[in-house]
Chains A and B, each alone.
Chain A
Amino acid sequence: MQRKAAREGSPFTGLGPVFMKEFSDHLSSARMMVLMLFVIVFGAFPVATSLQTLRSAVDPNSFIFLRIFTLEPEQVGISFTAALNFIIPLMAIGLGFDSVNSEFNRRTLSRVLSQPIYRDALLLGKFLGGLATLAVALVALWLIVLGAGLILLGVPPRGVEVARGLSFLLVAIAYGGVWLAIAILFSVIFRSTATSALCALGVWLFFFILWPQLAGALLVGFAPSEIRTVDDYVALQSVGLGLMRLSPGTLFSEAVLGLLAPETRTLGPMLPSQMRGAIMGAPLPFDQSLLLIWPQVTGLIAGMIVVFAAAYVIFQREEVRA
């Protein structure tokens, strides 16, 4: 094959215009309004109720601002971060499920690709446009929560709380990126937008409902007939955790836990050796918390890149003709 000749010109030619168009399309679309409404409704409940609870609690030394995010009010039964864990994938899927196949169905793809751009720029522009939209939505939400906290609690957040809160925001965006990449992957694979939406939602439901059960069942299969030592037990636990961590939702909630609950010392089973010399309930410094969740964050980013790369490879091979 003489197909090896390198192509000329930057693969990013035209990335800017594609990104700007996607971004402005998303921001002005009715779909975005609906998604924002969704997020606000789902986020407002836990935040409002936890603010109620926190106003009566008196504990000046704790990270009271971070508690807004993580407190699980009895009336609602779900914390703000748990709601986000659930809602961010839905938003990302909503933004990405028709990004490529709708161009195909509207017959705009071949016309756009006949302009001087590579497919690389088109796909990357669409991904970044969606990610930027997601980021705008999350930043807005984050600011609303922070503002509500300021007004209702009457205490300003400490610097470290802001730092932890900002890191939480970044992790949330990375988490959204994973799901956006999954949605775009399906939009590349399937010509029908309904099918790709269905598949992306299927993956979402699978990880949230089926996977915890399935991982539990798989773990039983892995388990030795009897557990004799602590090491056996620890090994089994780490297999179980490893399985659970295949779900981006698990990575996200672990990273959030490490960031927003500073007293978290380990994300796995707590060993007696780790307890030695520790003061129970004392918060970790910010940098130690970051160190703790670093694998989760890299996992999320790596997942995003792997899924996007898969979408990229498939898109490059696709025929543009109808």
Chain B
Amino acid sequence: MSDNVIEARGLLKLYGAQRAVNAIDLDIRRGEIFGLLGPNGAGKTTTILMLLGLTETSGGSVSVLGFDPVRQPLEVKRRVGYLPDAVGFYDHLTARENLAYTARLLDIPRREATERIMESLKSVNLDDVADKRVATFSRGMRQRLGIAEIVMKKAEVAILDEPTSGLDPHATFELLEMIRGLKRLNVAVLLSSHLLDRVQSVCDRVALFNKGDIALMGTVVELANQVLGAGHPLQVEASGIDVAATLRGVEGVQRVTEEGAGTWRVVADRDVRAAVAQRIVSSGGSLTRLADLQPSLEEVYTRYFQEARHAA
């Protein structure tokens, strides 16, 4: 068998005549963090629910860890952990009791369950509130409890739907650390989000959803090359000279645009930082900043949807 934990081919979901998910192909590899991106209503959650067998597919085939979620949902759900958007727990039970219920549903022997619950709570730093009722938990703590559930389940695949939505920056940071922790346990993580910079920092690969289609798929750099065009963008801050005129002659530089007072954006077909610095200094300008611009997912996303709108 290949190293893909999830394979979807021509996955289709119809709501009446509307194509919520339009025959997508998707492969998730073992141990990678894969991001599903896209605006609300683009089909991310529907895709996730189909992968879990929680909603029926209208066509196409899915294999999760070698099982078909339509015909063998129990096998799939035994091995896949799911953290729904704004996960809920039973408020009148404690964190430990909530996980104990899940453990009973998973048919884990009682003694083993006790240990696994404690370990998993420790791994998300909730061990000191294990016996507090979940009603007192903040949103971030609930999300972490959801991660603990996945850890306790010893899932091979974790599917997280908008895991960071509604969290403050600190809680988001903590949660992303825990998601990286899942990856270290060799768990394949599939997460959906519209918080792009966060996704960029954890995801190995991303897929960009647009109206039920996967518009783009690959690493962030690959997407940037596709959407923004190949090239090395630089940011230059200098004073004393006209940077645009000075740099026009540098070999490799394709475009120089002024972005603000004393700030220029330079696009080149290779890494031209050394040449640019030399030219500015030798022309008598004072160079205050020269930065290699990492392609940002946000830029990719914004640009892509601008172009999609123009095309429409």
Q: Which residues of A contact B (CB under 8 A)?
A: 2-3, 5-9, 13-14, 16-18, 20-21, 25, 106-108, 110-118, 319-322
Contact = CB atoms under 8 A, between A and B. Distances in A.
Contacts of A115: 77, 102, 105-106
B146 interface: yes
Question: Which applies to chain B's interface (DSSP): helix, strand, loop or mixed?
Answer: mixed
A116 B71 contact: no
Contacts of A112: 105
Nearest to B142: A107
18 contacts: A9-B72, A9-B73, A14-B105, A17-B101, A17-B105, A25-B92, A106-B88, A108-B89, A110-B82, A110-B84, A111-B82, A111-B87, A111-B89, A114-B52, A116-B73, A116-B105, A117-B77, A320-B54
A107 B87 contact: yes
A30 to B, nearest CB: 10
A116 B87 contact: no
Contacts of B75: 8-9, 116
Contacts of B101: 17, 21
A-B pairs, top 8 by smallest CB distance, nearest first, are A107-B88, A114-B82, A17-B104, A9-B74, A115-B105, A116-B78, A108-B88, A106-B88
Contacts of B71: 5-8
Contact of A7 (B70, B82, B104, B106): B70
Interface of A is mostly: loop
Contacts of A116: 73-75, 77-78, 105-107
A179 to B, nearest CB: 25
A110 B54 contact: yes
Given A110-B82, A322-B85, A118 B54 contact: no
Interface string B76-116: 01101111111111111000000001101111000000000
Contacts of B56: 3
A197 to B, nearest CB: 19
A294 B101 CA distance: 40
A113 B54 contact: yes
